[in-house]
Amino acid sequence: MSLYVRRVVTGHDENGRARVIIDEISKTVVSRRPGQESTVVWATDHMPPRLGDDRDISPEIETTTIDNGIVFRIGKFSPGVAARVHRTAAIDYAAIISGEIAMELERIARTGEPVPGQTEGAAFTVFSNPIIDRDGRVAFWAGYESGAGDGGLYVYQDGMVERVLDDNPANTGEVPGADDGDYFGDFEITADGDAPGFSWGIGDRLIISAETRGPSRTNGIYRWRASDGAMKRRRLCTVSPRLLARRLEPGEATASLTLSSKASFGSCSGNWSSKSGI
């Protein structure tokens, strides 16, 4: 290995005075592919970090990110190193200490491109703000033209965009727990890109609030599973479920989505949480 990084970590003694607790050449240097080396110089497994915690967990870090934590990593990329494309549900900060490097971004979809599940000639025209789950799946509402219907919900995973649902009137019988003549409909994307009505739940589950069209007009809350595409209705609503979850206030944090029928769903039946059976 040719990456040498000196790391100096300070802490406090029993009297609260600053002291050096680690001063060494980093021992956690690894190479994941030819021409690349990296080392984790410090990491924490709490958010916010515990300021009195001097545990050094850097030798234990084997993944790009860790749940509810921070990873400080220094890397070296030699000329000709193979590119690596990755997606993480994390905020990454990158600083170039020396030299230069090119960054390639993975494009998910853009206007004018074909729409999955639509006839030839249908093209995307507008997108909502996307949401990403902890495994890098990206969900977004999109409008389109020259197709059947006007818009739908899509998920990007494993390098492909796939249709979850759309408002194509021909797709009757796709609404779980509804009349055979019902179909999903009435999707709106505002000028600022906001399109409430979907959020990632636990595991690979996408939670969706949607209106329907057809004989019964059974609006509801639905669960779509990314692993097999299975759709299931979780709650029946007698009015339009316009918002899936309220925005978090500053300083407020939650590890999973909690839904309240009174706060967000009008007359959807029952109070429930994504932690319990969604």
Give pLDDT, residue 129.
85
pTM over 0.75: no
Give pLDDT, residue 218.
73
Instruction: Say whether pLDDT at 224 is over 70.
Output: yes
Q: Residue type at 61?
A: I
**Average pLDDT, whole number, for the chain?**
81
Mean of pLDDT values over 48-60: 89
Task: List the single range of 109-118, 175-184, 225-234, 255-264 with lowest mean pLDDT.
Answer: 255-264
- Banded pLDDT at 246 (limits 50, 70, 90): very low
Give pLDDT, residue 243.
37
Reported as a single tens digit per residue, the pLDDT across 138-177 is: 999 999 999 998 899 999 998 899 999 999 999 888 888 8
Instruction: Say whether pLDDT at 277 is over 60.
Output: no
Give pLDDT, residue 1.
60
